[in-house]
Structures are given as C-alpha cells and as structure tokens.
Amino acid sequence: VHSFTHRHVPVLYPHWAVWPFKKVPGLVRLVAFLCRPFFPGTADTLDRLHRFQEEAGAETQGELLEKVRRHYPSSTRFVVLPMDMEGIGHGPVRAGLAAQHDELAALAAREDLKGLVLPFATFNPARGQAGVDEVKRMVGEHEFRGLKIYPRLGFPPDHDLLMTELYPFLQ
C-alpha cells in the first residue's frame, strides 16, 4: 500500500488547474452536483476525486494506514511503499522524502504495528548520491525491508546508481 498523504504530494499535482479544488475541497462536490444532470460520467469522476482527496487528506501516514486496516483482518501485514514526488515538476511538497521515510520508520516501530508494517525505501536517481545515502540510511538504520523504484519517473531499472550502489548493497 501507499501511505503518503497530501503533505508528500506536490501542491500543483496532478495539474495546476486542480489547485483550487485542493484548496477548497467542497468545490469538487459542488462542481460534481452541477455536472450530474448534463455530464453524469464527469460527475462520477469528480465524486471519485473527492473520495481520493478525503483519503489523501489524512495528516499522518498512520491515520491513512488505520483507514486501510479497517478493511482487513487484524493480522494482515502491509508492505508500505513511499513515493518521491518532489522533483516531478508540479511544485513543492510540504514534507520531503526524508520526512516521509522517517514517519514511515516511526510507524513501523509502533508497538501495535510491530511486524505488520513492512516499510520499503524509495529511490529516484535524480537525487544522485544523496538518494543513495537516504536508501542506505533507511535500510541500514531503520531496517526497511527493501527498495521501491518507479521507473515511470523517467529512469531505467538498470540505472548506473542502482546497478553499482544500491542493488549490491541490498543484496
């Protein structure tokens, strides 16, 4: 699962035109209501966007995870995957990757979640050596279970830093 919140997502993501809807969450419901008689498909899409906004509006990753956990047996284990969205060109994020990783480490260390939250670090080669060091910090110091990469951000899974630094380290 992903547990990142609105604090980890760029202000203008996924498009600058969505910004007013993020600032005034009730606005998307109003537009959906106005669209429903004429454009029911668009209204349904806007309703889904509103539900997504509500979920991502959680203040902490723990709060978000608790919403997910309600739908599963109490013994369910969750592989939690962070997402590095700082450098994707949609504006600043309120809480950067290190903060997201640290919060996830604290979540995995909670007594009531021990063994149920399996945290992974994430890596984007655009961060260079700092990104490598961040992954090593999370895996080495906080016992993260593995690495999540997302090549759709514009890098190959055989990127030089992955091949020479991280894959050997993780192995």
Query: Residue 170 above 70 pLDDT?
Result: yes
In this predicted model, what pLDDT tens digit does every residue of 58-117 receive, in sequence order? 889 999 999 999 999 999 999 999 988 887 777 888 888 999 999 999 999 999 999 999
Give the whole-angstrom CA distance, residue 59 versus residue 4. Answer: 10
Neighbours of 132 (CB within 10 A): 18
Per-residue pLDDT reduced to its tens digit, 76-91: 999 999 988 887 777 8
Tell whether the model's pLDDT for residue 146 goes beyond 90. Answer: yes
List the structure tokens of 85: 């969205």
Side-by-side strand order, sheet with 117-123: 78-80, 117-123, 146-149
**Could you tell me the pTM of the whole model?**
0.81
Residue 69 backbone dihedrals phi, psi, to 5 degrees: -60, -30
Rounded Cα distance, 49 and 34, in Å: 15
CB 86 within 8 A of CB 12: no
Q: What gap in Å lies between CA 51 and CA 170, rounded to an integer?
A: 37
Choose among 131, 132, 9, 125: nearest CA to 61: 9
Question: 42 or 51: which carries more pLDDT confidence?
Answer: 42
pLDDT tops 90 at residue 149: yes
61-69 vs 97-109: helix crossing angle, rounded to 10: 50
